[in-house]
Amino acid sequence: MDFKKARQIMVDSQIRPDDVTDTAIVDAFLSVPREVFVPKASQSIAYGELEIETSEGRALWTARDTAKLIAAVDPQPDETALVVAAGSGYETAVLSLLLDTAIGIEEDDALVDAATERFAKLELGSAVAVKGDLATGLPDQGPFDVIYVCGMVQEVPVAWTAQLADGGRLAVVVQRDAALGRGRIYKKAGDVVSYRDVFDARPPRLQAFDRKPAFEF
């Protein structure tokens, strides 16, 4: 299979038609081999318009949703990003080509080690994988200019917005109903955090961030 050609088709059919035309972002998607970040059995469908499970509870989104959320968070070359629930590391890899540093956080040693190996193999010196608690983030290494969450959540932990630098942005899909979520960008200005909704999406949900059932008598 010609993966380079498949990447070009993915960009031309899934990313550009959804108004993601920034040259740097398009080039990043053309540069990162998506097939490296999925199980071998899924490599033939790596560029299809579908989500692909990469490990338990982790999945690659459609290229359209990933590209639109990255474009909405507006990464800049001198910035540092924290990528929450980084999974196989694909989003961290893409962001590392757009920012100074992208740090992917995961709770499982095996995922961290595998992502580190992929980054080294692809010579992505600005991409890093570390172990940590997803809800807590990396307060000792913050604040971050960008925080990007690789999964839909029902609740956004306060710890994430607390780790944004002044002017920093948090990109996440927040679940609205049983099936649909909304891509949302939080922005910090001084002590105030506001948000705007940018597009509808339905990526796989991070169940660890489900709302706790309300207690009823």
Tell me whether residue 214 is in a domain.
Answer: no
Question: Does 212 have pLDDT greater than 60?
Answer: yes
| Number of domains composing the chain | 1
* pTM reported for the whole predicted model: 0.94
Show the CA angle centred on residue 158, arms to residues 156 and 162, nearest 5°: 125
Structural domain containing residue 101? 3-209
Separation CA 149–CA 77 (nearest Å): 19
Separation CA 200–CA 80 (nearest Å): 26
Model confidence at 199, pLDDT cuts 50, 70, 90, reads: very high
Question: At 153, which CATH number?
Answer: 3.40.50.150
Q: For position 185, what pLDDT does the model report?
A: 98
Sign of CA dihedral 41, 90, 94, 69: positive
Separation CA 216–CA 111 (nearest Å): 39
Tell me whether residue 142 is in a domain.
Answer: yes
Tell me whether residue 217 is in a domain.
Answer: no
Q: For position 214, what pLDDT does the model report?
A: 53
CB 32 within 8 A of CB 88: no
